A and B are shown apart, each in its own frame.
Chain A
Amino acid sequence: MHESLIRTPLVTGSPTMHDITEDICRPVEGKPTKAWWIGFVLATLGFLLWLYSVGYTMTVGIGAWGLNRTVGWAWDITSFVWWVGIGHAGTLISAILLLFRQNWRNSINRSAEAMTLFAVICAATYVVSHMGRPWLAYWIFPLPNQFGSLWVNFNSPLVWDAFAISTYFSVSLLFWYIGLLPDIASIRDRAKGLRKKVYSFFSFGWTGSIKTWQRFEAVSLILAGLATPLVLSVHTIVSMDFATSVIPGWHTTIFPPYFVAGAVFSGFAMVQTLLLIARKALKLENYITIYHIELMNIIILVTGSIVGVAYLTELFIAWYSGVEYEQYAFLNRVSGPYWWAYWSMMTCNVISPQLMWVKKLRTNLAFTFLISIVVNIGMWFERFVIIVTSLHRDFLPSSWAMFYPSLYDVGVFVGSIGLFFFLFMLFIKFLPSVAIAEVKLLLSSSSEEAKKRKAAKEGKQYEFSPEKGSVVIAATAAAARKGDDHE
């Protein structure tokens, strides 16, 4: 495959194929590090907190939370949408970027997809736990039943939601697992004893033959095609949970694009958070380069700006509509008792990503890490603002009320983060967190080493500085004499 020299290399240093296998399999095959143990124990504690909080809520009722008759959704649906949004980056990276042949995705797609799955699992737990009678959650599906001709309400966005989320989860799981097969097989081939048996089972008899690879490529492409509309549909439908209602602040046609952009925004921020940690902890600097980080920061900048425009549009339309309830809803967001939530959202989501215009900042790891956290805080507040400040003061002032979270609200949310990391820690321990096969694919064309070789062949001198992310291609002395260009 031809690749221009000036493209930034996607693998730095000069690893061989075998080095890649070694580097990526190390965390899976070796003894867990101290850092992993600390992370795992913390995550497990969070998971236990989640178990307790959700268990208590399910035992006594939703009354354990701070909801009331005016505010029927608060932290539950806020966190649900937050997790679903986070779950968007995975599919975007794996599907859309695959279709667009953005090869830089190869080294980050695995963990992004895993993150998607775990985020969707966290979201799904909210779907069940926010219900008054969670043991009947299966009623959301149009299953054959003995209640007569009882069907679900296809008008309800919650039903669409159930379809959207479950489809998204299954396609993402499939996509992720198919991608994992060659890598599991690699581990299988290197393992012994029980490990070998387990990995053999999960590699589904991968042979590594040309035919297998061919089919693998075909399936990946088909799944990517299938998953692409899902990236847009899932959050569109989640946004319809609000947009189809009559509540001022919810009843807005801008929601679908605005939610999708917000989801990609938060998802990339979460990928960023996780990758920066994994890169450091698992020593994957050669595969997850500054260039990757920078590209993702650019996406964060773009989607953050879209979200910012959406916020301003909402305010404008509220004013322009002339509907007093709509106007009050937005006035109340900006200046009501929850003004701090609105302005936290504005600061985190609109102002802070704008700093990414500065190249120095978007290639700075510490800054990127900070922004990635800030963005996700902001995105949580965005959903909180949409849900709580719209509900708490709607049409009849007699029913206006405040929402105060209970300890269980906090417990379930913090616990869900615990659950997420619990799953993620298990993932990086037992599965390769970077797609070995796909990174190897880059080695021949897009790695620093390959480019150097190519340059040498063309008689050019190739220099790459990972810190600056800059490529300098100079004609060698001989070529210069021939009058070749200097790029």
Chain B
Amino acid sequence: MEELENTPEFQAAQKREFAEDLPVQALLSDVNQETVTPRRGFLKMLGFGASTLAAAACNRTPVKKAIPYLVKPEEITPGVPAFYASALPDGYSVLVKTREGRPIKIEGNPGCPVSKGGVDAIGHASVASLYDNTRLKGPKMNRTEASWDDIDQVIISQLRALDGEGKQAVILSPTIISPSTKKLIGEFIEQYPNVQHIQYDAVSQSAVWKANRQSFGKPVVPAYRFDRADVIVSIAADFLGTWISPVEYSKQYVHNRGQRALKEDKKMSRHYQFESALSMTGTNADARVPVKPSQLGLVTLALYNEVARITGGTSVQAPELPEIAAEKVKQAAKELAAAKGRSLVVCGLNDVAVQEVVNSMNVLLGSYGKTIDLENPSYQYRGDEATLSALVNRMNGGKIGALFFYGVNPVYDFPQAKAFTDALGKVKMKISFSDREDETAAYCNIIAPDHSPFESWNDYQPRADVYVVGQPTINPIFNTRQVQQGLLAWMQRGEEDYHDYIRAYWEQEVLPAAGGSRGPGDAGENWEMLLKRGFAALPPAAPAAPAFSGNISALAAEIKAAAGKQESDLELVLYQKVGLRDGRYANNPWLLEMPDPVSKVTWDNYAALSPVTAGELGLKQNDLVEVKAGGHTVELPVLIQPGQAAGTVAVALGYGRTACGKAGNGVGKNAYPFVELAGGNYRYIVPASLEKTGKTRELAQTQTHHSVEGRDVVRETTLEEYLQDNNAGSQPKHDHGQLKVDHQEDKPFYSLWDEHPKPGHHWAMAIDLNSCTGCSACIISCSLENNVPVVGRDEVRRRRDMHWIRIDRYYAVDEENPENIEVTHQPMLCQHCDHAPCETVCPVLATMHSSDGLNQMAYNRCFGTRYCANNCPYKVRRFNWFNYANNDKFEYYMNNDLGKLALNPDVVVRSRGVMEKCTFCAQRIQAGKLNAKMERRPLKDGEIETACSSSCPADAITFGDMNDPDSRVSRLLKDERTYYALEELNVQPGIGYMTRVRNKPAPEEELDHHEYYHMKEKKTHQENIYKDLLRPETY
């Protein structure tokens, strides 16, 4: 109304902003600036403050746990890895990369005299075993959780009661190569004289040391020197894959066969392999002869005879061999003898008589002191399975009062498991140190879980002259206790620390001996310095050539008798796989998903049959058959294995675990019950029969086409040709001149695009196909470094394996003699093409090129059209078909809090729907560059290694800067042997491959002409003849 009437009051009021005057003067006056707060004012403030706080507190603030360091440990800087020298249970020194106090990756320790920086797949994968959430969280007594004190009391009282009961206690373990542990067990036995220590290896090599005991009076496994051998004959010894010390042997083997040997020595060793199933070692042989298992002993005899004939030894009666084997035996013997002192015969048969003949042959060849070292023997595989069988009898006789299972699982791996479990019933107290409730632990009263090797102090003596120390790299995750600490506790020395024990042992025994040969001030004699280095090398004992003391004719008779007994239409040969070996790590998802280097099968064992035998039996790949031998039957799918001896079925041990954990339970079938105990040794060759069931089980293979179809992505030559012309075999099959600028071979290919400038670094890789043995350590190393998910059998079967690096394995089959095959391994990973076909097709630029030659993936930007994968000629891109992390369907390691600790924090875990692939370990490149930058120096060649190149036990992979003309990779890429896979596409790959050189035996005069020409013809891999058998696509 006022507005309507427009009264003067209204007009006045409108001019003022506030209806009442603000007390400006009062506010500005001194009155309100008094320091004394009035009572009411105080109460107001208090009330307001308290209620605001209360209101704010109503909202739950999310708690984000960052790095929980109240006091930051000196050695840990968040984001910066710390490396510790430690060791693997195999006795190799390694460097363990830890981030924020947790081990995430294993690197080889280049100084380690045994491994020389190599780590095998099992070693790399062991990190997953540490973070396996099937591990026991604490000790158990009679199936319920118990305290360590209670357990100690019970055990001590039982140990004390043994005397009264007139019973014995036994510590059952595999070969122990820890000197401190051996000493401690010795002291334990001193205190409790009723305790006995029995060592047995689930997969035994005991014939080796037993034969040496017989032949030379030295019960040792010798150290072999493949690097000194120019001629190697292996009789069923998978020395690159599973036999005794494969990492050590791989390094040695490649020393004589890789780029260095070819370029500098202008030679490479010649490797003959006589074997039944195709082993990884067999795939690398220059001449491989498939022989029925029962004949392997006879091959040894024949070889001995030939060697003896040339070198003047006593020959023995030996039956005739099949023609091809006999030819090759003659040839091998001739070459062995010609390279006297530079030759080596090894044998993987667990048969003392055969091993003794091999010993005698090596004596004739002068190998001892040169390629075989008996004076500095290996300490691995010193178990004796005969004692285990004796133990069962004693258990049945009620003689055993307590049984300690330390690192063994006889209920699973003892061939007569039933007999063993029955006998266990007669043992009052059974104590398992297993880290999980495994098959044996299920029968035990007490489970006292051991630390993981990552959580404990260890020392190892893999060879007489090498000591390795393993330091813990993480605090024990669970309430576990190291076995040695337990032994100390039961010796009433509980307050003594095992670390101190090891240290004392080393300071008294090892360091003085090791330091003796080194000058004062050298790193050898100080414990702290030792921990930094990880190992101590003793001065090796002088080599000696022992005399052979055995009755060779008696041995020959024995071998013939054994062969007669083993001979049958179908012979079963039991072997170990490179990934799973004896089954100890069967719950390791990485190892289960690692494609077998030969068959490329994951997540299963199978009955491998030669194509000929399968054809005769009317069996196809994936047919389920019952394998029957010695009263035991298992149902296994058939795998057609070219190169396997006809009349043989090969089944891998180490599968069929029933209580190892979620990932490994029920994977494959247990083949241990097939193992026979003969003459105190496990025999892995038994007569068998097969029965078709009519059912099928599709094997999850990562490669189903096995012939390279004559394509020159794999190039090879022979040593003979290579020496004549270093370019031999590395040139493309087709003349590419027409495709090149001005039609000149030395010019680049015509291109639509202008070349990008390549300033600074240009990362590249060289892969020597002649060094790669196919061992697949790189696959596991890469998976760990880059958080590659494990996807499980079903997904692999659908061809959705996620490995960023794979090893393509191609067979070339001799059409005349289908058993005679040649194998090539080709590691295949993102080629980081400079003209990458994947990059042009991505609609959203999620994959692009970096200025330093990397083909990069921006996962965040990818929305998953998969065009890049389709357009990749190498098919190395991997798509996240599902969410592999936090998905119950893929409960392998990315799905529980513990398993996630194995993830590399430097690499993102990819979500579903995005593409991923090899990055050339971009995070390592970045770390290396930053490191150099902070130290204000240029990068050094070799400073940055990718996970695959650093892990390769064969040094087949070289990574570096192509723009640096002096880098190793630049020099290798310029080598005559180097070629690029699919170079004619002009994608300009950043990975050069170096030809495979085969040192094929020159054809003998006696060799018939037909075969000679055939070998000549078969220079490149040609079509294979098993089209219907080898290609599961067609059925």
Contacts and interface: CB of A to CB of B under 8 A. Distances in A.
Contacts of B913: 61-62, 131-134
Closest 6 CB pairs of A and B: A132-B864, A132-B913, A63-B881, A398-B808, A72-B866, A399-B875
B842 A153 contact: yes
A130 B843 CA distance: 14
7 contacts: A69-B799, A132-B863, A133-B863, A150-B861, A396-B711, A398-B806, A399-B808
A132 B914 contact: yes
Nearest to A248: B873
A163 to B, nearest CB: 11
Interface stretch (B13-21, B319-327, B700-708): B700-708
A396 B987 CA distance: 15
B185 interface: no
Contacts of B982: 395-396
A132 B884 CA distance: 13
A155 B837 CA distance: 11
Given A134-B863, A152-B845, A158-B865, 17 more contacts: A63-B795, A63-B912, A68-B798, A131-B863, A131-B865, A132-B863, A132-B914, A133-B862, A150-B861, A153-B844, A245-B870, A245-B871, A246-B985, A246-B987, A396-B981, A397-B810, A398-B810
Contact of B1033 (A60, A136, A325, A337): A337
Nearest to A400: B705
B844 A244 contact: no
B705 A397 contact: yes
Contact of A69 (B801, B871, B873, B911): B801
Interface in B154-194: none
A62 B865 CA distance: 10
A395 B707 CA distance: 12
B800 A68 contact: yes
Nearest to B1021: A397
A328 interface: yes
Which secondary structure dominates where chain B touches chain A? loop
A61 B881 contact: yes
Contacts of A159: 843
A334 interface: no
Interface string A293-327: 00000000000000000000000000000001100
A70 interface: yes
A132 B875 contact: no
B863 A247 contact: no
A137 interface: yes
A136 B874 CA distance: 28
A14 interface: no
A282 interface: no
Contacts of B866: 62, 67, 72-73, 130, 132
Interface residues of B, number: 60
Contacts of A156: 840-843, 867
Contacts of A60: 882-883
Nearest to B600: A398
Nearest to A147: B861
Given A132-B864, A328-B709, A395-B711, A402 B1033 contact: yes
Nearest to A128: B863
Nearest to A398: B808
Contact of A132 (B707, B734, B862, B874): B862
A244 B1033 contact: no
B967 interface: no
B808 A72 contact: no
A397 B808 CA distance: 9
Contacts of B842: 153, 156, 158
Nearest to B753: A155
B159 to A, nearest CB: 55
A439 B232 CA distance: 91
Given A246-B837, A396-B808, A137 B799 contact: no
Contact of B863 (A69, A73, A136, A397): A136
A152 B845 CA distance: 6
A183 interface: no
A133 B1033 CA distance: 31
Contacts of A69: 799-801, 869, 875, 877-879
Interface in B764-804: 795, 798-801
Interface of B: 703-711, 713, 734, 795, 798-801, 806, 808-810, 826, 828, 837, 840-845, 861-867, 869-871, 873-875, 877-883, 911-915, 981-982, 985, 987, 1033-1034
Interface in A360-404: 391, 393-402
B844 A247 contact: no
Given A61-B883, A324-B711, A395 B874 contact: yes
A60 B882 CA distance: 6
Contacts of A395: 711, 713, 873-875, 982, 985
A70 B799 contact: yes
Contacts of A157: 841
A162 interface: yes
A152 B801 CA distance: 30
A337 B1035 CA distance: 9
Given A133-B862, A245-B841, A245-B870, A67 B881 contact: yes
Contacts of B705: 393, 397-398, 400
B22 to A, nearest CB: 44
Contact of B882 (A61, A68, A140, A391): A61
A232 B837 CA distance: 26
A66 interface: yes
A393 B987 CA distance: 19
Interface in A70-118: 70, 72-73
Contacts of A150: 845, 861
Contacts of A152: 843-845
Contacts of B915: 132
Given A69-B801, A156-B840, A401-B799, A247 B875 contact: no
B867 A72 contact: yes
Contacts of B806: 398
A132 B880 contact: yes
Given A156-B840, A156-B843, A72 B914 contact: no
A147 B846 CA distance: 13
Contacts of B911: 133
Nearest to B840: A155
B870 A247 contact: yes
Contacts of B801: 69
A394 B880 contact: no
Most B Cβ at <10 Å: residue of A67, A68, A69: A69
Contacts of A337: 1033-1034
Most B Cβ at <10 Å: residue of A132, A151, A244: A132
A61 B883 CA distance: 7
Contacts of B880: 61, 132
